[in-house]
Amino acid sequence: MAKLYYRYGAMNSGKSTALLQAAFNYEERGQQVLLAKPLVDTKGDSRIVSRLGVSREVDILVARGTDLVAVLDERIAADRARGADPVACLLVDEAQFLSPAQVDDLLCIAVERSVPVLAYGIRTDFQTHSFPGSRRLLEIAHSLEELKTICRCGRKAMFNGRKAGDDFVFDGAQVAIDGVEVTYESMCPACYLRAGGRLPYREERAGWDGAGAPSS
């Protein structure tokens, strides 16, 4: 039985680079891979782009309602019809943007179609909340692997600080693509809180008024 792998990390932890390296490794051995990414990730348009400057066109752009099992079945049928090698692996970039149903599709692809799936993404957004896709991956993936990077202070980065210009911002929509509207910086928890980041459930419990002091 093939497995679903989730490899996650903070921004700039080398996820796209690792994905492209995995694709190269498969193809170096003469095996066919499929690359996919969510359509909402407009960075690079239809390409996966690493920080090192390496890029590659994807085979599947995943819209919100895309049934990934159906897409793979169509590809398998087309490959059989033309006598092509079977798909050896499906690699998914920015997997946090998938819907929970699409993550379930990935598990079905691994278990029922015997195609290993390597999904890469971030665990939490700029407010420390998990994305629906990453939450589901953490729940059902066979294997979880953290890709590590460091904060500017040298400690392990866990959080993703969002910046508008030179300033950190902690309010706004969950999805804003890096380099399009904003930029991101991977941060350790101490630097994140020092920059003004909040731990929302702690504030909710304390009954904060949003201005930094308990409400009366």
**Positions marked catalytic:** 94
- Matching residue, tokens 């390409």: 47
Say if CB 30 and CB 85 are below 8 A apart. Answer: yes
Say if CB 36 and CB 93 are below 8 A apart. Answer: yes
Say if CB 11 and CB 184 are below 8 A apart. Answer: yes
Which one, of 66, 7, 61, lies nearest residue 36 by Cα?
Answer: 61
SS (H, E, C) 75-131: HHHHHHHCCCCCEEEEEECCHHHCCHHHHHHHHHHHHHCCCCEEEEECCECCCCCEC
Distance (Å) of CA 7 to CA 62, 139, 189:
19, 13, 20
Q: How far apart are the first and last CA of the chain?
A: 58
Beta bridge partners of 140: none
